[in-house]
Structure 1
């Protein structure tokens, strides 16, 4: 059996000094697609932030893409993030530069320097998400769904082991949400592990997968009813 990409034992997730989820025991293996669901304020985002180093793991044991979250030093957070891709609800594209320069910015920030290699990589990830024709467009010139596709492309730049998607369809209409989900599912079928927080239950029904729920300070697996 392969090693888990994420392993949490007796973990408590804190927001400030309040434990928002307690006693998490979880293993996620390569190639899995995991939903994290729960009401607003139930701790989903705090859970995700703990994985990518925005919140410190104060209690319990956790390893994520071979990094020990409990002993993670500030200086090592960028290296952890090179091994994961993050997709946010609000796209987080830089509004003052075009699609190409948005992706170039990330590559330079993560240590790339060869112009030709960067060009090839940018073309490759935009091709994967069907956005090659938008390479020189500004974010405001493309739709919300297209911006999110570019955000997914950005998450793929460093060929991450895991993609963390925090409410990636939260700002999109239902049809566009389905298109973005189809894209994420395709990426998952090509071998990428995806952990996705969502409160869009319609998507869960349409694209069923292993589901964990944050509720009353706990995180537990729920079995989806099939109609």
Structure 2
């Protein structure tokens, strides 16, 4: 049996007082690649934010990478996020520093101190996403697809147990989206668990996998052909 990385039971998700999603029951096991689909405004982002501690879980029970979301304290959130790799739609790279320095910033912020280990880790993750020769460049010198590859590399730095990718291809053209998907697929084949929110149905058809859908304030698993 592979280990359960994420489990939610009878969860309801609120934005302030507004109920966004209710009666969520799901589990994701180690090594799975899971899509989260749904229209804009259906609650995908609120769902993701709850998983990485941006929205508190106030109803139901939730465990993610061995953290209890109901009892999660403010001070625990940085430690939770070290076990998660988060990839955003808009890359969130720091524009005033090179790619290497973007990655260095994250490692230092998460407690890395050994210069040699830092350098070799940065080389390693950039190589994984096909960006080994681009570390000296600034974000604005890269295409959108290249910036997203760097954002994926950044998510891999601390060897996360689960990668949460929130619309990672949302700002990319179809060809580049496929390239970025292939990077994510390779990472998944190497044993990483990935939960990816998307509204790009072409990707689901091209790379079918377990799919959860946000609709009518619920989250449920859908059979691919019914998507």
The interval holding the TM-score normalised by the smaller chain is over 0.9
Find the residue that maps to 1:136 and give its secondary structure: coil
1:71 corresponds in structure 2 to 71
Question: What's the offset of the Cα at 1:2?
Answer: 2.8
Tell me the distance in 2 between the aligned counterparts of 1:2 and 1:126. Answer: 28
Offset, 1:74: 0.2
Q: How many angstroms does 1:191 deviate by?
A: 0.2
- Is residue 36 of structure 1 aligned with residue 36 of structure 2? yes
SS of structure 2 residue aligned to 1:133: coil
Q: Can you list the C-alpha shifts for 1:81-130, whole angstroms capped at 9, x where unaligned?
A: 00010000000000000000000000000000111110000000000000
SS at match of 1:13: strand
Separation (CA, whole Å) in 2 of partners of 1:202 and 1:2: 29
After superposing on structure 2, the runs of 4+ consecutive aligned residues of structure 1 that deviate more than 6 Å are: none
- The C-alpha deviation readout for 1:51-94, integer Å capped at 9, x for no partner, is 00000001000000000000000000000000010000000000
1:14 CA drift (Å):
1.0
Q: Residues of 2 paired with 1:14 and 1:110: CA distance?
A: 29
1:182-201 equivalences in 2 (<5 Å): 182-201=182-201
State TM-score, norm by structure 1.
0.98
The aligned counterpart of 1:181 is 181
- Which residues in structure 2 correspond to 1:205-224 (within 5 Å)? 205-224=205-224
In 1, the alpha carbon distance for the partners of 2:90 and 2:152 equals 12
- What is the number of residues matched between the two proteins? 226
Give, in whole Å, the separation in 1 of the partners of 2:186 and 2:13.
Answer: 31
Question: What is residue 60 of structure 2 aligned with on the other side?
Answer: 60
Gaps of 5+ in 1: none
TM-score with structure 2 setting the length: 0.98
State the Cα deviation string for residues 149-187 of structure 1 (Å, max 9, x = none). 000000000000000000000000000000000100110
What's the CA shift for 1:36? Answer: 0.4
Unaligned regions of 5+ residues in structure 2, if any? none
- The equivalent residue for 1:164 is 164
Q: State the match for 1:147 in structure 2.
A: 147
Is 2:142 the counterpart of 1:129? no
